[in-house]
Amino acid sequence: MRKSHVADIVARRLGVAPSRVANLTARLADAGLVSKVEGSRRHPPDLAEHEVVRLALAVMTDSGLGDVVRNVEYFASLRGPFGRFDAVLADLLFGPPRSVRHLIVRHRPPGVSMVVDDEHVEFGLPGAEGGATDARIISGAALAAIAAELRGLSAGQADAVAAASRIISGGPPWTSTTC
C-alpha cells in the first residue's frame, strides 16, 4: 500500500491532522525508517509491513517532530510478555484478528499498556502508581479498523469491523473510533 494511503488511514482512524502525519512521515523518510519516493512520483513503491508499523508508531508516540525518530526506535524496542512492541503491533495490524480493548502509550515513564485477548500486558516501564501522566489512548476498535483497511477493506467495511470489535471487547457499538 502506498505511503500516502497508509498515512491517510492512520490519520483518519487516530484522529490526527493529515498534515501532522505527513510531517511525521517526512521525518521518518529523512531518517531512512520509511522509504522515500525515488524516480517517478506517479508510481511510488508500496510500504513494507515494518514501514507501516513505524508510521503508525510515529503517530501513536508523537511528542514533537524533533523526537519522532527517537520515539519510534525506543517504543519499537520495548519488551513485554509477547516480545518486542513493534512485532506485537505488526501482528495486531497484519496477523489474525485479536481482541484489543485499548492501547495506552505513555512518555513519563515511557511504556505501553494494553489489554489484548482479555490479558493486560505492559511493555517498558509500568505506569506510575497514583500519579498523573500524559498518555495517548487508542481504542481497540480504531486498531481493528486500521488493520481492516490495511487488508484492503473499504472505510465502510472497516467501520463495521470496528463496531464488531467494540461489541466483542465489551464496549458500546456507538462509541467513537478515536480516543
Q: Give per-residue pLDDT as tens, 137-171.
A: 999 999 999 999 999 999 998 888 888 877 776 65
- Does residue 36 lie within any of the structural domains? yes
- Does residue 175 lie within any of the structural domains? no
- Does residue 179 lie within any of the structural domains? no
pLDDT at 77 over 90: yes
- Mention every residue, 6+ apart, whose C-beta is less than 8 A from residue 158: 13, 144, 145, 146, 148, 149
Separation between Cα atoms, residue 171 and residue 26, nearest integer Å:
35
- Does residue 135 lie within any of the structural domains? yes
- Asked if residue 140 lies in contact with residue 176, where contact means CB atoms within 8 angstroms, the answer is no
Separation between Cα atoms, residue 91 and residue 99, nearest integer Å:
12
Separation between Cα atoms, residue 14 and residue 8, nearest integer Å:
10
- Does residue 174 lie within any of the structural domains? no
- Does residue 113 lie within any of the structural domains? yes
State how many domains the chain has.
1
- Does residue 26 lie within any of the structural domains? yes
Q: Chain-centre distance of CA 126, in angstroms?
A: 20
- Does residue 105 lie within any of the structural domains? yes
Confidence of residue 40 (pLDDT cuts 50, 70, 90): low
How confident is the model over 87-141, as pLDDT tens digits? 999 999 999 988 899 999 998 888 999 999 889 999 998 877 777 778 899 999 9
Bridge-based pairing of strands 135-139 and 83-84 is unpaired
Supply the pLDDT for residue 162: 86
* Structural domain range at position 62: 3-168
CA distances from 150 to 4, 6, 8, 14, 20 (A): 12, 7, 11, 14, 20
**Gyration radius of the chain over CA positions:** 16
Separation between Cα atoms, residue 44 and residue 97, nearest integer Å:
29
Confidence of residue 177 (pLDDT cuts 50, 70, 90): very low
- Asked if residue 166 lies in contact with residue 141, where contact means CB atoms within 8 angstroms, the answer is yes
> Rounded mean pLDDT of 8-37?
94
pLDDT at 51 over 50: yes
